Amino acid sequence: MAEYSGGRRGGLNIRLLIGLGLALFAIISYFMKTEVNPVTGEKQRIGMSVEQERALGLQAAPEMAEKMGGVVEENDPGAILVRDVGQRIVAKSDAASSKYADNFNFHLLRDPETINAFALPGGQIFITRGLFDKLDDESQLAGVLGHETGHVIARHSAEQMAKGQLGQMLVTAVAVGASDDRGGRGQFAAMAAMMANQMVQLHYGRDDESQADALGFKYMVESGYDPRGLLGVMRVLAEASKGAKQPEMLSSHPLAQTRVDAINKLLEQQFPNGVPDSLTKGRSLR
């Protein structure tokens, strides 16, 4: 029995060392991927080039669109408006000086039920008919598209992918190091590590959303839109949630009221004497 026990301990030590080695490699690799975002000036851990982001976004766009009914025809008035407002935001903001400037495309999706908008890496931006039809005016549409443009410029998708790769490697490292198969402790440790990784992703997701709100606000103003339209978007999202509040700690988005408070703070800071008349709500969408 003593010899068998020693063999087990030796096997555990080897697995532990392998697990530690994998974890160390993952952490070093992650921090070696540091770049400075030329628009935001922030240091980011990015695991792919701009060209790879573009290729990935273009490859994923048809499949993502199909999941929400496909893209509305180019000559549809709503689709034309989405393109016009989106391109105006890009042309008038610092997005025009980014490496994505020529790759932005704005699409209206057919799905009439889903309230959603999203950006793929590289500049493919989508809004569903369900959300579009609930907006009152052009400034609210600019708020949605400016927010999604902010995600692209801030390279949030690429940043999240790098974090996801780190998390997956750390989960693997814990699973290898804790794989003693006695009492299920190895499986429990792996599950705990996976949950911790998910919580980290949720935390940074909320930060990303807040930054995209701030960038969207900035882009609206630069494009000549009344930034209070972003508050209208928050009202739409709050109504769509039907009052069901998920704890912010477990949500990938900040709670609507948190976002409203942040937008109001930006309004007070930038326009202490009120929003000037030169900033427009644009055309009505009703």
- Give per-residue pLDDT as tens, 45-101: 777 788 888 888 888 899 889 989 999 999 999 999 999 999 999 999 989 988 899
Quote the CA–CA distance of 45 and 62 in Å, as a whole number: 28
Return the structure tokens found at 3: 């010899």
Find the mean pLDDT for residues 219-225.
Answer: 97
Instruction: Report residue 32's pLDDT band, with 50, 70 and 90 as the boundaries.
Output: low
Evaluate if residue 279 carries a pLDDT over 50.
yes
Evaluate if residue 146 carries a pLDDT over 90.
yes
- What DSSP designation does 183 have? T
Q: Look at residue 53 in the predicted model and tell me its pLDDT.
A: 85
Quote the CA–CA distance of 114 and 237 in Å, as a whole number: 11
What are the tens digits of pLDDT across the range 111-129? 999 999 999 889 999 999 9
Q: Look at residue 227 in the predicted model and tell me its pLDDT.
A: 98
Q: Look at residue 16 in the predicted model and tell me its pLDDT.
A: 67
Evaluate if residue 233 carries a pLDDT over 80.
yes
% the chain with pLDDT above 70? 70
Q: Look at residue 221 in the predicted model and tell me its pLDDT.
A: 97
Domain ranges within the chain, ordered by starting residue: 36-270
The backbone region for 159, taken as left when phi is positive above 0, alpha when psi lies in -120 to 50, beta otherwise, is alpha
Q: Look at residue 57 in the predicted model and tell me its pLDDT.
A: 86
Find the mean pLDDT for residues 177-187.
Answer: 53
Give the Å distances, CA to CA, from 93 to 96, 115, 215. Answer: 6, 26, 10
Contact (CB, 8 A) for 198 and 251: no
Contact (CB, 8 A) for 279 and 226: yes
Residue 204 CA to its chain's centroid (Å) = 9
Evaluate if residue 180 carries a pLDDT over 70.
no
Contact (CB, 8 A) for 10 and 124: no
Quote the CA–CA distance of 156 and 81 in Å, as a whole number: 26
What are the tens digits of pLDDT across the range 196-210? 444 444 443 778 889
Average pLDDT, the chain: 80
Least confident of 1-5, 138-142, 178-182, 269-273: 1-5
124-128 and 117-119 as β-strands: parallel, antiparallel, unpaired? antiparallel
Find the mean pLDDT for residues 122-151.
Answer: 96
Which of 32-36, 186-190, 260-264 tops mean pLDDT?
A: 260-264
Q: Look at residue 192 in the predicted model and tell me its pLDDT.
A: 47
pTM over 0.85: no
Q: Look at residue 203 in the predicted model and tell me its pLDDT.
A: 45
